[in-house]
């Protein structure tokens, strides 16, 4: 498998990392071994992995395998959205198998990538810098925005909103760190002009939310959890529209 320039290789490596850490193994176990239930974030995670895979630029030798997984993920997300654990079970197994196989194919492709395509000199540094600039330019590449969307939608804002505003739950030790990481990612992303103001507003709320979580102040956390959840949902919908995907969640 011949990979392209540094920007393409970074896209593929990032897509593989997100796919491999999305929890396909544990979801397969939950539905096929533990008779577990569908969780609120399941459909969101599966949908965004599908979106990331579709937005990455794949070499021809991997494209068919990616397309097959995208089809399975579309069916999988639909039954998860419907909360149908019975229908999710066989799709969980199939998605897990295909994710595993694609991951190994990507790993082999990355290992086989010719070092001759990336000369170890000043020209390589210049070219890679240009490739990275193009990768981070949302007008030239939508991939980084899709990655940020997946990360923020998988962070658990819905569950935290419910925990603080419906269940009377407590602040967990990892909450502040998690929200801070999302805030850092939102701040670092090169947003298109149409999304910048909304992203800035979301980042400001996340900063306040992180501070309240770090202080363990449940009373202050509750309204911020609700606001962060609302803004996350709205920004995600706006991103989906900008990326050109239809959204049902």
pLDDT score, position 140: 43
Q: Output DSSP code: residue 5.
A: S
The least confident of 138-152, 191-205, 206-220, 232-246 is: 138-152
**Nearest by Cα to 130 from 7, 10, 222:** 7
**pLDDT tens profile 162-185:** 999 999 999 988 889 889 878 887
CB of 106 closer than 8 Å to CB of 62: yes
pLDDT score, position 3: 62
Give the DSSP H/E element, type plus range, for residue 80: helix 60-81
Task: List, as one string, the DSSP characters of 25-70.
Answer: HHHHHHHHTS-PPPPTTHHHHHHHHHHHHHHS---HHHHHHHHHHH
C-alpha dihedral, 146 to 148 to 149 to 154, nearest 10°: 130
**Burial annotation 126-164 (CB, 10 A radius, 16+ → b, else e):** eebeebeeebbebeebbbbbbbbbbbbbbbbbbbbbbbb
Check the CA dihedral 249-204-198-149 and report its sign: negative
Quote the pTM value: 0.58
* End-to-end C-alpha distance for the chain, whole angstroms: 36
Q: Domain locations in the chain?
A: 6-116, 144-243
Confidence of residue 236 (pLDDT cuts 50, 70, 90): very high
pLDDT score, position 150: 80
Query: Cα 175–172–209 angle (5° rounding)?
Result: 40
Confidence of residue 211 (pLDDT cuts 50, 70, 90): very high
Fold of 144-243: 1.20.120
CA–CA gap between residue 195 and residue 183 (Å, rounded) = 15
């Amino acid at each position: 498998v011949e990979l392209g320039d540094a920007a393409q290789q970074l896209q593929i490596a990032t897509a593989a990392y997100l796919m491999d850490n999305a929890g396909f193994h544990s979801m397969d176990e939950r539905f096929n071994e533990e008779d577990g239930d569908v969780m609120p974030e399941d459909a969101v995670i599966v949908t965004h992995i599908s979106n990331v895979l579709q937005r990455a630029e794949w070499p021809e030798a991997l494209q068919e395998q990616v397309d097959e997984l995208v089809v399975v993920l579309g069916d999988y997300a639909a039954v998860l959205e419907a909360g149908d654990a019975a229908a999710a079970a066989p799709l969980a197994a199939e998605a897990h198998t295909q994710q595993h196989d694609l991951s190994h194919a990507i790993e082999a492709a990355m290992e086989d990538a010719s070092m001759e395509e990336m000369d170890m000199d000043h020209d390589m540094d210049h070219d890679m810098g240009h490739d990275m600039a193009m990768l981070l330019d949302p007008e030239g590449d939508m991939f980084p925005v899709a990655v940020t969307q997946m990360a923020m939608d998988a962070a658990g804002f819905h569950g935290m909103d419910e925990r603080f505003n419906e269940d009377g739950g407590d602040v967990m030790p990892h909450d502040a760190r998690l929200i801070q990481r999302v805030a850092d990612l939102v701040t670092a992303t090169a947003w298109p002009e149409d999304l910048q103001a909304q992203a800035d507003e979301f980042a400001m709320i996340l900063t306040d939310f992180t501070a309240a979580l770090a202080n363990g102040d449940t009373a202050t956390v509750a309204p911020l959890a609700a606001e962060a959840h609302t803004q996350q949902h709205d920004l995600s919908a706006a991103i989906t529209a900008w990326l050109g995907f239809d959204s049902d969640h």
